[in-house]
């Protein structure tokens, strides 16, 4: 029977890894993820989860251990955050090239310096191009369920996937959680069936030297499988509803059908944006919400369909790519580029380094959106002493010193 418990996002993630029957878990502590590995250590030590837990000496090694375990045919799981995810970067690539369906939970945290443990999506979005699937959880329930949903797809396409959740706002906040019946999860997610498992009877070499006449094709297949994963996420999300009671989709709309002004958001701050949309509707403003759940593969077609023809779109980014814009905004713009019904996309950068994104923040964004003519790349919300807007124009950057030779 499913259980209903009051748990934090971190503990929910540990339950997700347990329900998915992860066989090898390797992780390194980092705030605010640590509770995940603590609970998984307990679950494996008590025998409730039949898995090997490897307490490695770094996140780089955590991912490397997962690579070894997955290559040998085990279902592998790890969890990390911020600096830890950055340290894993090399091995994140390795997991993709080696086609290993590892699942990772990243509790998103701001990057140092200065040291910050607070919520910020820059860590996970910095891994955008490594070739991992990426899902963004909004609730404790999703922090658990997305791990199971991710494995279901990852093991079909032989690509790894990460589930993002927000530091503290999700990781340390207790919400009611339905812990699914194990038999039902087993029905949804059968055991991992690897194509290769380092069988000494089949002495092959994996991941060695490839010359220019083969490498391109290997990467083409990565791309191809990532594309396939788009539809599989939809199908597996539907199956999740059939077997485990809640249907998941790569995108989620709220009051979207007739909305003129759409706020786009991902992760836990979406709950506040949703509340703002409710408020706005009461005031007669035709606002709507589009929540991005799947970031890789990016649901380009569905985004065109959901956002085409709107009056204005505001994308809330709890991250920024200095020199360009918020990363979700960048992706949404690129999905809509050249479409005859493409709405103007306004990029709003909010909540960097864990600064609160409240319902009021979403209202401020909407108030600005309604009166602003130019769809700016980056509009900063809540920088001390500055109104919502693009970069200040009165700040002089240190000019180049004249060179001797020019005199």
Partner 1 sequence: MRWVVPEAEHMAEGTLGCQGCGGALSMRLVLKELGQDAVAVLPACCWSIIDGPWPVHALDIPVLHTAFETAAVVATGVKAAKTIQGKDTTVVAWAGDGGTFDIGLQALSGAAERNEDILFICYDNEAYMNTGIQRSSSTPTGTWTTTTPDQRPEARPKKDIMGIIAAHRIPYAATATAAYPEDLEHKVRTAVSIKGGMRFLHLLSVCPPGWKMEADQAIEVMRRAVRSKVFPLYEIRNGREYTITHWPDDLPIEDYFSLQGRFKPLLGNDEMLELVRENVEERWQTLLARHERSHSGAPA
Instruction: Catalogue the E-assigned strands of 42-97.
Output: 52-54, 76-80
CB of 203 to partner 1, least distance (A): 5
Stretch that binds partner 1, among 194-202, 258-266, 363-371, 381-389 (CB under 8 A): 194-202
SS3 56: coil
CB of 198 to partner 1, least distance (A): 5
Pattern 143-182, binding to partner 1, x per CB under 8 A?
----------------------------------------
CB of 174 to partner 1, least distance (A): 32
CB of 93 to partner 1, least distance (A): 9
Stretch that binds partner 1, among 192-200, 281-289, 332-340, 353-361 (CB under 8 A): 192-200
Nearest to 229, CA basis, from 156, 301, 300, 131: 156
Stretch that binds partner 1, among 22-30, 31-39, 138-146, 149-157 (CB under 8 A): 22-30
**Binding flag, residue 271, partner 1 (CB under 8 A):** no
CB of 27 to partner 1, least distance (A): 12
Enumerate residues 65-104 that contact partner 1 by CB under 8 A: 65-74, 76, 90-91, 94
Residue whose CB is less far from partner 1, 61 or 116: 61
**Binding flag, residue 329, partner 1 (CB under 8 A):** no
Residue whose CB is less far from partner 1, 210 or 391: 210
One DSSP character per residue, 264-294 reads EE-STTHHHHHHHHHHHHHTT--EEEEEE-E
| CA angle (165 as vertex; 160, 171 as ends), nearest 5 | 130
Nearest to 126, CA basis, from 156, 160, 99, 164: 164
CB of 20 to partner 1, least distance (A): 14
Enumerate residues 36-65 that contact partner 1 by CB under 8 A: 50-52, 54-58, 60-61, 64-65
Stretch that binds partner 1, among 21-29, 109-117, 319-327, 399-407 (CB under 8 A): 21-29
Peptide linkage before 326 cis (omega within 30 of 0): no
Question: What are the backbone dihedrals phi and psi of residue 7, each rounded to the nearest 5 degrees, phi first?
Answer: -135, 160
CB 109 within 8 A of CB 171: no
Beta bridge partners of 122: none
CB of 336 to partner 1, least distance (A): 38
Quote the DSSP letter at residue 386: -
d(CA 392, CA 370): 21
Size of the site for partner 1 (CB under 8 A): 43
CB 161 within 8 A of CB 147: no
The two three-digit tokens of residue 123, written as one number: 């860590």
d(CA 204, CA 72): 12
**Binding flag, residue 246, partner 1 (CB under 8 A):** no
- Sort strands 133-136 and 294-296 into parallel, antiparallel or unpaired: antiparallel
Residue whose CB is less far from partner 1, 220 or 227: 220
Residue whose CB is less far from partner 1, 58 or 231: 58
CB of 101 to partner 1, least distance (A): 13
SS3 2: coil
Match 């955050």 to its residue by tokens.
81
Pattern 204-223, binding to partner 1, x per CB under 8 A?
xxxxxxxx--x---------
d(CA 373, CA 175): 40
**Binding flag, residue 187, partner 1 (CB under 8 A):** no
**Binding flag, residue 374, partner 1 (CB under 8 A):** no
Residue whose CB is less far from partner 1, 54 or 259: 54
- How many CA atoms are closer than 13 Å to the CA of 380, on its beta-carbon side? 15
Quote the DSSP letter at residue 135: E
Interface with partner 1 (CB under 8 A): 23-24, 26, 50-52, 54-58, 60-61, 64-74, 76, 90-91, 94, 197-200, 202-211, 214
């Amino acid at each position: 029977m499913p259980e209903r418990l009051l748990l934090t996002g971190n503990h929910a993630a540990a339950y997700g890894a347990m329900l998915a029957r992860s066989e090898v878990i390797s992780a390194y502590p980092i705030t605010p993820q640590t509770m995940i590995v603590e609970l998984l250590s307990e679950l494996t030590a008590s025998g409730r989860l039949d898995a090997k837990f490897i307490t490695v000496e770094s996140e780089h090694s955590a991912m490397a251990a997962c690579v070894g375990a997955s290559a040998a045919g085990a279902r592998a799981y790890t969890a990390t955050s911020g600096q830890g995810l950055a340290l894993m970067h090399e091995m994140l690539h390795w997991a993709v090239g080696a086609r290993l369906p590892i699942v990772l939970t990243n509790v998103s945290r701001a990057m140092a310096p200065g040291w910050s443990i607070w919520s910020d999506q820059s860590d996970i979005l910095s891994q955008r191009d490594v070739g991992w699937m990426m899902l963004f959880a909004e609730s404790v329930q999703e922090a658990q369920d997305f791990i199971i949903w991710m494995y279901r797809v990852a093991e079909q396409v032989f690509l790894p996937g990460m589930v993002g959740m927000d530091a503290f706002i999700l990781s340390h906040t207790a919400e009611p959680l339905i812990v699914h019946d194990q038999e039902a999860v087993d029905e949804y997610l059968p055991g991992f069936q690897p194509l290769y498992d380092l069988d000494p009877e089949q002495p092959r070499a994996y991941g060695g030297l490839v010359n220019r006449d083969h490498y391109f094709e290997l990467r083409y297949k990565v791309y191809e499988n990532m594309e396939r994963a788009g539809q599989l996420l939809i199908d597996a999300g539907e199956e999740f509803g059939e077997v485990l009671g809640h249907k998941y989709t790569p995108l989620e709309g709220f009051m979207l059908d007739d909305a003129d002004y759409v706020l786009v958001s991902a992760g836990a701050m979406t709950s506040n944006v949703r509340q703002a949309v409710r408020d706005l509707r009461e005031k007669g403003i035709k606002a709507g919400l589009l929540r991005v759940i799947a970031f890789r593969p990016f649901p380009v077609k569905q985004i065109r369909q959901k956002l085409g023809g709107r009056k204005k779109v505001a994308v809330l980014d709890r991250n920024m790519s200095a020199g360009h814009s918020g990363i979700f905004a960048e992706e949404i713009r690129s999905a809509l580029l050249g479409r005859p019904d493409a709405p103007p996309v306004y990029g709003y950068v909010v909540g960097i380094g864990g600064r609160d994104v409240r319902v009021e923040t979403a209202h401020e964004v909407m108030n600005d959106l309604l009166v602003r003519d130019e769809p700016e790349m980056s509009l900063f919300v809540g920088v001390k002493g500055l109104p919502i807007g693009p970069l200040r124009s009165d700040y002089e950057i240190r000019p180049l010193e004249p060179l001797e030779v020019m005199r």
